[in-house]
Amino acid sequence: MKQLAAEANACIEGIRSIDSEAEVVVWDGHGSGGLDEEDLRGATYIPPQQKPYFNLSGYAAMLFVGQHAMAGTFHAPLCHTFNSRNIVYYRLNDVYVGEFAVRALVAGLQGVPTILLAGDDKAAAEARCFIPDIELAVVKRGKGLEEAEHLSADAACSLVREASARAVSRHQEIEPFTAFAAPFILEIRYNERPSMTKWNENQAEWIDDRTIRITSDSINDLPF
């Protein structure tokens, strides 16, 4: 958590090195909490329970720090899609996606570009698949689900700081991610049969005993 905060602060510093007046909001995307608010410097903190990316009015860009690859990615450390215990995959309009792509899409459909990913090399490759012009800071190289070769703490922060500055300096060159359009058809496969009580019966249907399909004209109705 301390290293994540250090890299988040490095990202803030990189942003401010280009735009000294930038307002930075940090959302803790870890379900149980991955940051201590007091460790952040010069940013507004939003806890995990909220999902601010569904309303990005007034924001210029979105940046990911400490991001992992989607569930099932070969040799990707801590790879998962939303629920590390029970979700096998998300597939949106027939394309496998992880947390990065769907949140970048939610932002992109609001006109907000995703300009940076800092994380492991597999997460970086995934980001480039969806947003070829995105800036990257590869701070570790995955060797397995719980194994990676890391940069030193200081080197990782320096890399994040430099990549964040580059991203902000060219954020107008990076287009918002809008590759998917309504109707949105989301297929979710689970390790174990899920309860259907959480889904609207008019939206969700069984594909088999562990896979559901949700169809919606609004991205905001999907479990992102």
User: What confidence tens digit (pLDDT) does each residue in 205-224 have?
Assistant: 889 989 999 999 999 989 88
196 pLDDT exceeds 80?
Answer: no
* pLDDT given for residue 206 in this prediction: 87
Domains contained in the chain, number: 1
Percent of the chain at pLDDT > 70 equals 96
For the chain, how many residues are written? Answer: 224
162 pLDDT exceeds 90?
Answer: yes
What rounded mean pLDDT belongs to the chain?
94
CATH number at residue 107: 3.40.50.10780
Q: Is the peptide bond before 183 cis (omega within 30 degrees of 0)?
A: yes
Percent of the chain at pLDDT > 90 equals 83
Range with lowest mean pLDDT among 52-61, 124-133, 149-158, 202-211: 202-211
* Mean pLDDT (whole number) for 78-89: 93
* pLDDT 10s digits, 107-119: 999 999 999 999 9
* Mean pLDDT (whole number) for 161-184: 97
Confidence of residue 198 (pLDDT cuts 50, 70, 90): low
* pLDDT given for residue 201 in this prediction: 59
46 pLDDT exceeds 90?
Answer: yes
Q: Give the domain range for residue 178.
A: 2-221
* pLDDT given for residue 141 in this prediction: 97
Helix, strand, coil % over all residues of the chain, rounded to 5: 30, 25, 40
200 pLDDT exceeds 90?
Answer: no
In angstroms and rounded to an integer, the radius of gyration of the C-alpha atoms of the chain is: 17
* pLDDT given for residue 199 in this prediction: 61
* Mean pLDDT (whole number) for 8-30: 96
Angle, CA 194 vertex, CA 192 and CA 199 arms, to 5°: 160
* Mean pLDDT (whole number) for 145-164: 97
Q: Which DSSP letter does residue 95 get? A: E
Burial of 149 (0-12, 13-18, 19+ CB in 10 A): exposed
* pTM (two decimals): 0.93
